[in-house]
Chain A
Amino acid sequence: MSLLEVKDLRVSYGSIEAIKGISLVVEEGQVVTLIGTNGAGKTTTLRTLSGLLRPTAGEVYFDGQRLDGTAAHEVVMRGIAHSPEGRRIFPLMTVEENLELGAYSRKGMSPAEDIKKVFERFPRLEERRAQKAGTLSGGEQQMLAIGRALMSRPRLLMLDEPSMGLSPIMIQLIFDTIAELKSTGTTILLVEQNASAALALADVGYVLETGKMVLSGTGKDLLTDEKVRKAYLGED
Chain B
Amino acid sequence: MQLFMQQLVNGVVLGATYGLVALGYTMVYGIVQLINFAHGEIFMLGGFGALFTYTVLLPSGTPVVLALILMLLGGMAVSVTAAVIMERFAYRPLRGAPRLAPLITALGVSIFLQELVRNFYPAKSPRPFPQLIPPDYLINLGGGVTINAPKLVTVIAAVVGMVALSTFVRSSRTGRAMQATAQDPDTARLMGIDTDRIIVTAFVLGASLAAVSGLSNGLQFGTVDPRMGALTGVKAFTAAVLGGIGNISGAVLGGFLLGIVEVMATQYAPSPLSGGAWANAWGFVVLILVLVFRPNGLLGERVAARA
Contact = CB atoms under 8 A, between A and B. Distances in A.
Nearest to A100: B176
Contacts of B177: 101, 104
Nearest to A77: B192
A227 interface: no
Interface string A79-117: 001101000111111000100111011000000000000
Contact of A91 (B183, B188, B192, B195): B183
A152 interface: yes
Interface class of chain B by DSSP: helix
Nearest to A158: B190
7 contacts: A51-B189, A71-B194, A73-B194, A76-B192, A92-B179, A101-B177, A104-B173
A101 B305 contact: no
Nearest to B192: A105
Nearest to A92: B183
A104 B189 contact: no
A93 B179 contact: yes
B190 A72 contact: yes
A134 interface: yes
Contacts of B187: 84, 88-90
A94 B176 CA distance: 12
Contacts of A187: none
Given A71-B189, A101-B180, A105-B192, 10 more contacts: A50-B190, A52-B189, A73-B195, A76-B190, A90-B180, A93-B180, A93-B183, A101-B191, A101-B193, A104-B191
A74 B306 CA distance: 25
Which residue among A52, A76, A101 has the maximum number of chain B CB atoms within 10 Å of its CB? A101
Contacts of B194: 71, 73
A74 B193 CA distance: 9
Given A92-B305, A134-B307, A82 B179 contact: no
Which residue among A50, A73, A100, A104 has the maximum number of chain B CB atoms within 10 Å of its CB? A73
A217 to B, nearest CB: 30
A74 B179 CA distance: 19
B186 interface: yes
B115 interface: no
Contact of B192 (A73, A84, A88): A73
Contacts of A88: 184, 186-187
A76 B186 CA distance: 13
